Structure 1
Amino acid sequence: MRLGSFVMAIAGLSVAGGSVYAVRNYISAQAMQVQDANASVVRVLAAAHDIPFGHAIEGHMLTTIEWPASSVPPGAFTDRAEVLGQTGGEPRRAKARLAQGELLLSTKLSEFGEKVTIVQTLGANTRAMAIKVDAETAVGGFVTPGDYVDVLLTQGRDSEIRAVTILQNIRVVGVDQSSDEQSDETAIARTVTVEVTPGEGQRLALAQKAGTLSLSLRTLEGAVDEPLESVRLADLMREVSPVPETEKRRTVRVRRGTGDVQFVEVE
């Protein structure tokens, strides 16, 4: 009995020791994972609140957030001095509207002292061109920067008036003096600035001299652009040529000496 008890005690101690060793290894492994996770996180600079387009970047506008080191976007900032520069020096400016919590990237900020204008929002080999509009031709003021529109030309007089779509899927970059794409204010604009290629700019310049331009606001869903033929007033009126009345004919009875009777139709 004493030998059996001794063996059982030894076995119990072995199990307990093994359990302690296993728990200690598990805790150590978890601690190592936490350390590895902490080591793979980078603190990057982000916008502490919304920053308007063209606004100078100041210290109170910045905050830091943790970001996985393996997925930090190119151009992200980790040092406030890289964004703010020297005290009293020329600031960087927002080249686009920055939302609260959005990462600050070099592509979204100007260089120190660089002037920020609508040019920074244009794509490669495109131009900004203004169109004269009013309440009727600019969708009642609902066209805002960032929208996409079609441009229609109306020309002619009286029964010869016609309309044709000259440009499709054109981005609006400014309305009057505003280029804020996040603005939800509507107003009756006098000019709308659009982004066009050099060829489209030529067509737009000619069209403005030829007649009245109107904007058609496009849907947010994908739309298929197809060539459109011009529409004339006659197409709208659906003119139909009148059907000629049935011509009346007269019948003349002719009696011959043989007794035969012949009917001849004359106009």
Structure 2
Amino acid sequence: MGIRSVLVAMLGVAVAGGSAYGAREYLDQSRAVAATDPAAALVTVVVAGRDIPFGQPIQPQMLQVLSWPRAALPPGAITDLNALVAQPGMQPRRATHEIAQGELILASKVSNFGEKVTIVQSLGENSRAMAIRVDAETAVGGFVTPGDSVDIVLTQGNNTTLRAVTILQNIRVLGVDQQADQQTDQPQIARTVTVEVTPEQSQTLALAQKAGTLSLSLRSLENAEDKPLESIRLSDILREQSPVEEPTVAKPTVRVRRANAVEVVEVE
């Protein structure tokens, strides 16, 4: 028994030693690969230290420098702080898109030094910016803000010929009057709302503004489904009776006995 215990103990020591040696060799090899493989190295990147609104000049206090795996570096990421921050006497670069806190600063989201930033930079490919006339009633009481999505409803006609139809759905709001900051949450009574549309949709809007009154219908964040909607006329909602169903009134009944059978009969 004593010899067997000694042998077991020696075997355990040998296994533990071999595992430790193997682990050390693996770590040494990993360090060697990291030192020689450029893809495994870290690089410095510039990220937003706070939310940067559209059009905001890029200032040093808005930025942070972090280490980032080179292999995971997206195209266009800015790695040199001096390439982003203006030197004394230079005009600043500006955010051409909203940049969230902690987000990598990409060259596609900032302007060149001194470049003018307008709403054009926020347009998608093959999109157009078009303004439509609104007021407190047609613009959801002023609660439409840049970044919201809306449906656009056309109302036209007079008296009994009055009708309404949804002409465009899920349209992104670019600006309200001269305000294009998506961070704003203050309602305001606007006179114009600028929306992002395709060239075909811009023609539809141009005709619709001449044909009648345009109203905006604010969409929820979860509602992304579009479906065809038929126009509705004033005669469709002017009914002789309320659309609420009338309660059913039970008819009176009598019990009639015939021989040994009893029958319930309604009284007309």
Q: Describe how 1:155-170 pairs up with structure 2 within 5 A.
A: 155-170=156-171
What does residue 67 of structure 2 align with? 66
Gaps of 5+ in 1: 241-267
What does residue 146 of structure 1 align with? 147
The SS at the match of 2:84 is helix
What does residue 211 of structure 1 align with? 212
User: Take 2:178 and 2:32, find their aligned partners in 1: how far apart are those partners?
Assistant: 52
What does residue 223 of structure 1 align with? 225
What whole-Å deviation, never above 9, does each CA across 1:3-60 have from its counterpart, x for those lacking one?
xx9xxx9xx9998688557535523533553675685322211011121211111222
Gaps of 5+ in 2: 242-268
Displacement of 1:152 in angstroms is 0.9
Structure 1 residues 159 and 13: CA distance shift in structure 2, 3 A: closer
- Kept after mapping to 1: 8 A contact 2:53/2:183: no
What does residue 184 of structure 1 align with? 185
Q: Which amino acid aligns with 1:93?
A: R
User: Take 1:87 and 1:35, find their aligned partners in 2: how far apart are those partners?
Assistant: 43
What does residue 84 of structure 1 align with? 85
What whole-Å deviation, never above 9, does each CA across 1:159-210 have from its counterpart, x for those lacking one?
1211112222211111122112232222222211111222222221222222
Displacement of 1:67 in angstroms is 2.0
Larger Rg: 1
Q: Describe how 1:84-103 pairs up with structure 2 within 5 A.
A: 84-103=85-104
What whole-Å deviation, never above 9, does each CA across 1:196-231 have from its counterpart, x for those lacking one?
2222222212222221110111232321321x3322
Greater CA drift, 52-61 or 12-21:
12-21
Q: Which amino acid aligns with 1:65?
A: L
User: Take 1:36 and 1:203, find their aligned partners in 2: how far apart are those partners?
Assistant: 60
The SS at the match of 1:182 is coil
What does residue 47 of structure 2 align with? 46
The SS at the match of 1:203 is helix
User: Take 1:15 and 1:232, find their aligned partners in 2: how far apart are those partners?
Assistant: 89
Q: Say whether 1:126 aligns with 2:127.
A: yes
User: Take 1:170 and 1:151, find their aligned partners in 2: how far apart are those partners?
Assistant: 8
Structure 1 residues 29 and 161: CA distance shift in structure 2, 3 A: same
What does residue 23 of structure 2 align with? 26
What does residue 117 of structure 2 align with? 116
Greater CA drift, 184-193 or 22-31:
22-31
Displacement of 1:64 in angstroms is 1.4
TM-score after normalising by structure 1: 0.76
Displacement of 1:104 in angstroms is 0.2
User: Take 1:144 and 1:234, find their aligned partners in 2: how far apart are those partners?
Assistant: 34
What does residue 138 of structure 2 align with? 137
What does residue 56 of structure 1 align with? 57
The SS at the match of 1:60 is helix
Q: Which amino acid aligns with 2:194?
A: T
Displacement of 1:127 in angstroms is 1.6
TM-score after normalising by structure 2: 0.76
What does residue 195 of structure 1 align with? 196
- Kept after mapping to 1: 8 A contact 2:170/2:224: no
Displacement of 1:105 in angstroms is 0.2
Aligned length: 233
Q: Could you tell me the percent identity over the aligned residues?
A: 55
